[in-house]
Amino acid sequence: MHESISRLNHEPYIEPLTVEKVLVAGNRGPCGGVKMALEAAEQVLEIVNGREPVFTNWDIVNNNPAMQDLEKRGLKNVKNNLNLIPEGSVVFWSAHGIPPDYRKIADEKNLLSIDVTCQLVNRVHTLVKKAQENGKHIIYIGKEGHPETTGVLGELWTDNYTFIQPDTEISTLELPEKTQAVVYSQTTLATDEIKSQYEKLKTRYPDLEIPKRWDICPAVDYRQEAAEDLLNSHKIDFLLVGGSLHSHNSKELAKKAKKKNIPNALIDDPRQIQREWFTKGVKTVGATSGASEREEDFQLILDWFRGNGIDPVIYLPQIRSENDKAFILPQKDIDKLKERYR
């Protein structure tokens, strides 16, 4: 009936939304390291004020809207091609960390470096270097090609580490004999996958050293736990994740819904929403966002529901309390930049 009336009025029929409520995860959004990196970028671009280009070796954080905003203000992303950075320039080292040879190049080219490497990533760099100095063989679990993985492996001799991915078959793994091995990992991997790999590694190599404190970022872990809560405790029909497609930790959140055969989508802009996602009996939507997604971008996604008459949007309490105070700005680097214009 509605469709025939629409045809008489020469208007396309718009199928109504079936969503009754949106449940928002308590632990979501930017972690302390991301907030620190973006705040540093804001300060640096304000200080420079268009007087010269500011470069970054990679996305400061893996978030497209944030990077687009920064690039409009003069930030230039060279995608790890340091040849594109002129001598004497200002350059950011992204939150994912960098291999040590980048610092040598920076010295040779007299670059003014603003280092916003996440302190948890820096911790892994320090640990693998120390383990290598102590004669240990390092197993590193990460995603091939991810900038964090590239940075950490750059610290190691090529014959002194074994790189595996979360889905690597451990039963065929061969480690050097008579050498103590220790395992570390990328900070943004899925908690359950890492646990599984650790258990398989320990079964195959009982003498393998597994540090008591593992390397998954607590904020990433909490966001995964909160997503699991949405999926297991609240009977959602669709999981909507705020985050960019190249954000590994955001993809891991969407993957949790895929494993349970719950419809899902990963977006960083409300214009990417497809109305038909929410017209086929989807009544409860779960919404969360990755650790590199700005809260203002996530709110724009929620505004799409509000603008379509979906009420209420219910904010769930945090599952874990979070402390961002430990992530401090690279003040010495910023102070050097201020001196540049005096």
Task: List active site positions.
Answer: 148
Find the length of the chain.
342
Name the burial class of residue 40, with classes exposed (0-12), middle (13-18) and buried (19+) by CB atoms within 10 angstroms of its CB. Answer: buried
Q: At what angle do helices 191-204 and 218-233 cross, to 10 degrees?
A: 110
Q: Is 315 left (phi over 0), alpha (psi -120 to 50) or beta?
A: beta
Q: How far apart are alpha carbons 27 and 290 in whole angstroms?
A: 9
* Phi, psi (deg, nearest 5) at residue 73: -95, 5
**Helix (H), strand (E) at residue 219:** helix 218-233
Separation in Å, CA 197 to CA 210, 286, 331 = 11, 29, 38
